[in-house]
Amino acid sequence: MSTTWIIIALILGFVVIFQIAKASEYVAIMRGEKKTRQESNRINAFLMLVFLVGGLIGVWYCNERLKDKILPEAASNHGERIDSMIWITLIITGIVFVITQALLFWFSYKYQERENKKAYYFPHNNKLEVIWTVIPAITLTILVGFGLYYWFQITGEPPKDAIQIEVTGKQFNWEFRYPGKDGVFGKKYYKEVNEAKSNPLGQIWSDPANHDDIYTTGEMHMIVGKPVKLIINAKDVIHDVGLGHFRMKMDAVPGIPTTMWFTPKYTTRQMREKYGADFNYEISCQEMCGKGHYSMRGTVIVETEAEYNAWLASKQPQYVAAMGGVSPTDPAPGAMPTTTPAKDSAVTAGAAGTTTSMK
Ligand SMILES: [Cu+2]
């Protein structure tokens, strides 16, 4: 019903605008085209000024209204640098924005059509062209240079003492794998993925490195002040690991592991003391990946090393679940399926991509 009314209102609106246009055309003919044009030019010139002042007030007002809605301070070392980069970019572009917009609208007002005033013909000036090409080019090169420098840091090798977490995106949640005591992720093969057999990541059970790997969903744990490297995968479509509080984000691409590392600065507890008891670090998906996209939201818990170790120790390796309760220390290696296509070198290479050892 309301759709019908909206359509009727739109049609009426068009009819009214059409009639006004026609009427003003008749008026123009009666009064003379030149006079009408001059009058509408005057109105437009004035409106240019109104738009300039109103627009700038609007920008300031939106900023005042919404400034407490933005993310709290960056909670990682890389995040701080990214924030400072954003601020520098905003200040530079902000100054340019205000100057160019003010000139644009002021000039439109000041140099409006007037009697006995002739426009100055100014087709080209090489010096000006060079100035307004070279200055932005140098500025942008510096900004992009900083961006690239941080990007290579984030995606490069982390310090030796970094913990590693494998993050796998799927429709619709995040799956996490921790390498266990040996610090090494066991090999995986996508054809081994079998939720019914408690093997959601396709771990190859004949690889002993898999026997202590820990699998969780929903919650990712990290140690405060300790670098963490994420090895990111996807099982179906492209997802994107979004860690807004740490100012980190990275695509999760099926078949191509991506990595990023950073160092969390504050524990969840410290952030709750500052920003309220309901504060939670969030992991989100930042790539529209389907109708359950929103439900990929999970929690990141940053804690002390002791708390982290206690949490990890409380988890059972996925191997135990897959073997129906057989612990990796039990002498029952015959229970392990050996369906690994070891000859397929591409498979081994693919799996090795996610098996960076850590010493
Ligand atoms: Cu997703």
Spacing, Cα 50 to ligand 1 middle (Å): 44
User: Is the pLDDT score of 348 beyond 50?
Assistant: no
Spacing, Cα 180 to ligand 1 middle (Å): 26
Q: What is the pLDDT of residues 106-136, one digit of tens each?
A: 998 988 888 888 888 888 899 999 999 999 9
121: CB partners within 8 A, 6+ apart = none
Spacing, Cα 285 to ligand 1 middle (Å): 5
User: Is the pLDDT score of 349 beyond 60?
Assistant: no
Q: What is the pLDDT of residues 41-99, one digit of tens each?
A: 889 999 999 999 999 899 899 999 998 888 888 999 999 999 999 999 999 999 998 89
CA-to-CA distance for 138 and 140, rounded, in angstroms?
A: 6
User: Is the pLDDT score of 8 beyond 90?
Assistant: yes
Q: What is the pLDDT of residues 226-260, one digit of tens each?
A: 999 999 999 999 999 999 999 999 999 998 999 99
Continuous H helices in the chain: 2-31, 33-66, 77-110, 126-155, 268-275, 305-313, 318-322, 345-352
Please give the structure tokens belonging to residue 180: 């266990």
Cα distances from 125 to residues 128, 133, 151, in angstroms, run 6, 12, 39
Q: Are 227 and 261 in contact (CB under 8 A)?
A: yes
Q: What percentage of the chain carries pLDDT values higher than 90? A: 52
Residue listed under structure tokens 């002040």: 225
Q: What is the pLDDT of residues 258-291, one digit of tens each?
A: 999 999 999 999 999 988 889 999 999 999 999 9
Spacing, Cα 296 to ligand 1 middle (Å): 6
Spacing, Cα 172 to ligand 1 middle (Å): 6
Please give the structure tokens belonging to residue 170: 């799927």
Provide the greatest CA pair distance for the chain: 104
Q: How far apart are the first and last CA of the chain?
A: 68
Query: What local confidence, expressed as pLDDT, does residue 325 receive?
Result: 64
User: Is the pLDDT score of 357 beyond 60?
Assistant: no
Spacing, Cα 134 to ligand 1 middle (Å): 41
- The one-character DSSP state at 183 is T
Q: Are 274 and 73 in contact (CB under 8 A)?
A: no
Cα distances from 289 to residues 37, 251, 285, in angstroms, run 53, 11, 8
Spacing, Cα 193 to ligand 1 middle (Å): 19
Spacing, Cα 236 to ligand 1 middle (Å): 9
